[in-house]
Amino acid sequence: MLDLLHTTKTHDETRQGEAVELAPTGKADGRKLYIESYGCQMNFSDSEIVASILIDQGFETTKDYKEADVVFINTCSIRENAEQRVRNRLKEFEAAKAKNPGLVVGVLGCMAERLKSKFLEEEKLVDVVVGPDAYRDLPNLINKVEDGNKAVNVLLSREETYADISPVRLNTNGVSAFISIMRGCDNMCSFCVVPFTRGRERSRDAVSIVKEAQDLFNAGYKEVTLLGQNVDSYKYTPKVEDGQEPLPTINFANLLEMVAQVSPELRIRFSTSHPKDITDEVLYTMAKYENICKYIHLPVQSGNSRVLELMNRTYDREWYMERVDAIRRIMPDCAISTDVITGFCTETEEEHAETLSMMDYVKYDFAYMFAYSERPGTLAAKRYEDDIPEDVKKRRLTEVVNKQQIHSLERIQQYVGKVHKVLIEGFSKRSDKDYCGRNDQNTMVVFPVDTRYKVGDYVNVLGESCTSATLIGKIVD
Q: Cite the annotated binding site by residue number.
A: 40, 76, 110, 185, 189, 192
DSSP letter assigned to residue 66: G
Contacts of 189 (CB under 8 A, 6+ apart): 1, 301, 311, 312, 313
One-letter amino acid of 110: C
Q: At 328, phi and psi to the nearest 5?
A: -65, -35
Q: What is the dihedral of CA 322, 416, 270, 318, to 10 degrees?
A: 10
Q: How far apart are CA 280 and CA 285, in angstroms?
A: 8
Residue 146: count other Cβ atoms within 10 Å of its Cβ. 15
Q: How far apart are CA 56 and CA 76, in angstroms?
A: 26
Find the helix packing angle between 349-362 and 317-330, rounded to 10°. Answer: 10
Q: How far apart are CA 70 and CA 85, in angstroms?
A: 20
Nearest partner of 273 among 309, 248, 297, 300, judged by Cα: 297
Q: How far is CA 56 from the centre of its chain?
A: 26
Phi-psi region of 49 (alpha: psi -120 to 50; beta: other; left: phi over 0): alpha
Q: Where does 304-348 show beta strands of DSSP type E?
A: 335-342
Cβ(364)–Cβ(324) below 8 Å:
no
Task: Give the residue ranges of the annotated binding site for [4Fe-4S] cluster.
Answer: 40, 76, 110, 185, 189, 192
Cis-peptide into 7, omega within 30 deg? no
Which secondary structure element, helix H or strand E, spans residue 120, and what is its range?
helix 118-122
Find the helix packing angle between 206-218 and 252-260, rounded to 10°. Answer: 30
- Measured between alpha carbons, how far is residue 237 from residues 192, 234, 244 in Å? 28, 10, 14
DSSP letter string over 156-206? --SS---TT--PPP-S--SSEEEEE-EE------TT--HHHHH-S-EEPPH
- Measured between alpha carbons, how far is residue 244 from residues 240, 241, 247, 445, 449 in Å? 6, 6, 9, 51, 56
Q: How far apart are CA 301 and CA 320, in angstroms?
A: 11
